[in-house]
Amino acid sequence: MRPTNMMMKKHTIGIGADYRQDLRRLIASALQNRQECSAVEGLELCRSTLGEEEFLAAVDVLLDGHLTMGPQTEAFEAEWSAWLPTDFSLMVNSGSSANLLMLSALTFPGNPDGLRPGDEVILPAVGWSTSLFPISQTGCVPVLVDVDRDTLNLSPEKVEEAVTDKTRAILAIHLLGNPCDIPALQTIADRHGLYLLEDCCEAHGASIEGRRVGTFGALAAFSFYYSHHMTSIEGGMVCGQDRSTWRDGLVSQRAHGWIRGRSDRDQWAKNYPDIDPRWLFATTGYNVRPTDLNAAIGRAQLRKLSGFIEQRVAIRRRLLDRLRPYESWLAVQRELPGHSHAAFGLSLMVRPDAPFGRKKLQAFLEARRIETRPIVGGNFARQPVMGHVPHRCSGLLANADLVHCNGLMIGNHADLTAAQEDHLIACIAEFMESHALRAA
């Protein structure tokens, strides 16, 4: 007979206090060696923030034997909901899956107020692939609109121009941790009867007048990928403010479409007595479940998240202040009044009239061990895959093109050292001097 989880629970291996101390010492030694090896002058795009607590939490789960989605996942969901705060949260295996579940919940045929094939969803042209793809994958049409040149976020004016009688939703992406103009977007959504969704994958802790993003839209998505503000290595969360409307459907769609974990499970079982309730399917679904290993790491990271955010924000502010002398040639992302940027990364935009191009600056920085990348996916309308994705572009997308051609991103980490900050600024100063440009 194959052992069940409950049977295995009786034979759980525990870690005694002495062994735990030995393990802690081994982990601390390994982490110290990692830090010494990484103490270089350059600046990488991302860096691990896992410490002793995360390693011990992972070991505890491995020894406990409950490896797939279970009590750690449930606890993490509750703790995340309290931190945000939101009515409910549902953990999945990635932020991409969180976006997919948002759109799947909206488009499931059993949802009487949902979206139907051919309905349009507005989103910014500057975004990530798996912000856009779920719209198409669920039968809807992505409508790409231009971004604001200063914030790099969805332009409310361009959104208003893009609305048609087919428009049913707006997906606001808080790019690099900069909150969108949610009040303006909500006004547009209310006026036209549209759903407002939030992609907060890069925006943990970003806020508008003290209220955190992810609490404004009907549904919101977060990512816990290892480069983000906090990590579960791989993982994501779908959040919502109306549990009774959304949670049960999302629970089913997260895991195969079955009824396990739903609040109305008993009613489904009663209505279909001829079907084993363990294998009763109420919706379409995927398998985008997380593991308890991911959740345990996420719980340990969540306890550090506020500190991580504070450090990232402080680093960004210092860098922006030190970059001010070069603002004639380089533009940075700006937040709106009352908005708090979560500082996922540092964007630099080479101004169109600068005597150098993005590629030259990028090559110069890379040669000095400062890793760079495009600003998210650039203007996604220009990606070759869009030739295979039915979509609509609203307007000329001029600012998105500017981001695409002139923008680059530099990583930001909670433990960026003063030496690394100095190195970045010194390299930019050297580059400017090589073009005979004097700081203002």
CATH number of the domain at 417, please. Answer: 3.90.1150.10
Q: What is the pLDDT of residues 283-338, one digit of tens each?
A: 999 999 999 999 999 999 999 999 999 999 999 999 999 999 999 999 999 999 99
Average pLDDT estimate for 106-122: 95
CB within 8 Å of 414: residues ≥ 6 apart: 49, 229, 307, 308, 311, 312
How far apart CA 375 and CA 56 sit, in angstroms, is: 35
Residues 331, 278 share a domain = no
Element of type H or E holding 168: strand 167-173
Is 147 inside a domain boundary? yes
| Residue where one domain finishes, among candidates 295, 329, 346 | 295
CATH number of the domain at 150, please. Answer: 3.40.640.10
Residues 113, 261 share a domain = yes
Element of type H or E holding 144: strand 141-145
pLDDT > 50? residue 370: yes
Is 337 inside a domain boundary? yes
Residues 216, 117 share a domain = yes
Is 8 inside a domain boundary? no
Please name the residue ranges forming H helices in 240-388: 243-254, 265-271, 292-323, 358-367
Q: What is the pLDDT of residues 68-106, one digit of tens each?
A: 999 999 999 999 999 999 999 999 999 999 999 999 999
Residues 399, 252 share a domain = no
Q: Torsion-angle region of residue 387: left (phi > 0), alpha (psi -120 to 50) or beta?
A: alpha
Q: Could you list the residue range(s) of the whole structural domain that residue 420 is in? A: 306-434
Is 230 inside a domain boundary? yes
Is 15 inside a domain boundary? no
At residue 232 the predicted structure's pLDDT band, cuts being 50, 70 and 90, is very high
Please name the residue ranges forming H helices in 67-128: 71-83, 95-107
pLDDT of residue 359: 97
Residues 182, 98 share a domain = yes
| Residue where one domain finishes, among candidates 295, 327, 354 | 295
Residues 376, 246 share a domain = no
pLDDT of residue 2: 39
Return the closest-CA partner of residue 333 out of 156, 132, 68, 147: 147
- The residues carrying an active-site annotation are 228
Residues 382, 257 share a domain = no
pLDDT > 50? residue 7: no
Is 222 inside a domain boundary? yes
Is 361 inside a domain boundary? yes
Is 385 inside a domain boundary? yes
Residues 191, 117 share a domain = yes
Whole-structure pTM value: 0.92
Residues 169, 280 share a domain = yes
Residues 361, 265 share a domain = no
Residues 319, 277 share a domain = no
Q: What is the pLDDT of residues 27-46, one digit of tens each?
A: 777 777 665 545 556 899 99
pLDDT of residue 313: 98
Please, what is the average pLDDT of the chain? 93
Q: What is the pLDDT of residues 265-277, one digit of tens each?
A: 999 999 999 999 9
How far apart CA 142 and CA 136 sit, in angstroms, is: 7
Residues 350, 278 share a domain = no
| Residue where one domain finishes, among candidates 263, 295, 327 | 295
How far apart CA 304 and CA 213 sit, in angstroms, is: 19
The count of structural domains within the chain is: 2
